[in-house]
């Protein structure tokens, strides 16, 4: 599985881009949110990737931000949504904006995204509302450099989710545990103690 690529950006022709990594040109599809923020061809880039294998195709998708990759993956868990619509969502709305639309149940706004009809929008709201809660997507401080959170609260949030806690629970635990000046480790320790009460 390919999780990250670091190399020279050879070309970008939406939604496609090619990144040269040690003489091998990787062809990826990326949402407009990533394409807009890429440097010009010839510069070095680091992209988080999603590697997809289907019966007759293999595809690689690239993202500058971990929150985009998480949303891309979560969207495809919704019945009737594939990679094409997931890319359209990321191209049409920021991660934060999309999460806001889902939480407010704004079906009309969701249907303005290409490929999403009324029924699909309703399924998105029902199936993703819990997954997009708290810091599940925003993950402030996540960087393309290996996807490591820079601030302790974000780092603790990611770690707790990787341990299997639900986003709603993680948001509550981190909020109740984090104090100014805490390290990620101390927030995690306090949150785990709190979870066991």
Each of the 197 residues of the chain gets a pLDDT tens digit; together they read 788 999 999 998 888 999 999 999 999 999 888 988 899 999 999 999 999 888 888 999 999 999 999 999 999 988 888 898 898 888 877 888 888 888 888 898 888 887 788 999 999 988 888 777 544 444 433 333 334 345 788 778 877 776 667 778 888 888 899 888 888 878 888 888 887 76
Which of 37, 63, 89 is the C-terminal boundary of a domain?
63
Q: Of 56, 115, 107, give the one whose Cα is nearest residue 83.
A: 115
Which of 21, 46, 63 is the C-terminal boundary of a domain?
63
Determine contact, residues 73/40, Cβ cutoff 8 Å.
no
Please state the domain count of the chain: 3
Tell me, yes or no, whether 24 and 57 share the same domain. Answer: yes
Compute the distance between CA of residue 66 and CA of residue 80 in angstroms, rounded to an integer.
Answer: 23
| Residues whose CB falls within 8 Å of the CB of residue 84, separated by 6 or more in sequence, listed in order | 115
Any domain includes 140: no
**Global pTM value:** 0.66
Task: Please give the residue range of the domain that contains residue 165.
Answer: 152-195
Tell me, yes or no, whether 80 and 112 share the same domain. Answer: yes
């Amino acid at each position: 599985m390919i999780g990250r690529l670091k190399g020279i950006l050879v070309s970008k022709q939406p939604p496609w881009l090619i990144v040269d990594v040690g003489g091998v040109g990787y062809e990826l599809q990326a949402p407009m949110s990533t394409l807009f923020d890429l440097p010009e061809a010839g510069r070095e880039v680091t992209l988080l990737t999603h590697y997809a294998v289907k019966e007759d195709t293999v595809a690689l998708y690239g993202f500058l931000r971990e929150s985009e990759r998480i949303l891309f993956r979560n969207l495809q868990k919704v019945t009737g949504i594939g990679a094409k619509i997931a890319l359209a969502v990321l191209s049409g709305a920021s991660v934060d904006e999309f999460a806001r639309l889902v939480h407010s149940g704004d079906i009309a706004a969701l249907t303005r995204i290409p490929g999403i009809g009324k029924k699909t929008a309703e399924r998105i709201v029902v199936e993703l509302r819990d997954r997009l809660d708290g810091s599940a997507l925003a993950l402030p401080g996540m960087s393309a450099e290996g996807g490591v959170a820079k601030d302790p609260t974000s780092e603790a949030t990611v770690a707790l989710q990787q341990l299997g806690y639900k986003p709603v629970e993680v948001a509550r635990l981190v909020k109740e545990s984090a104090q100014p000046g805490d390290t990620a480790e101390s927030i995690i320790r306090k949150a785990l103690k709190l979870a066991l009460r």
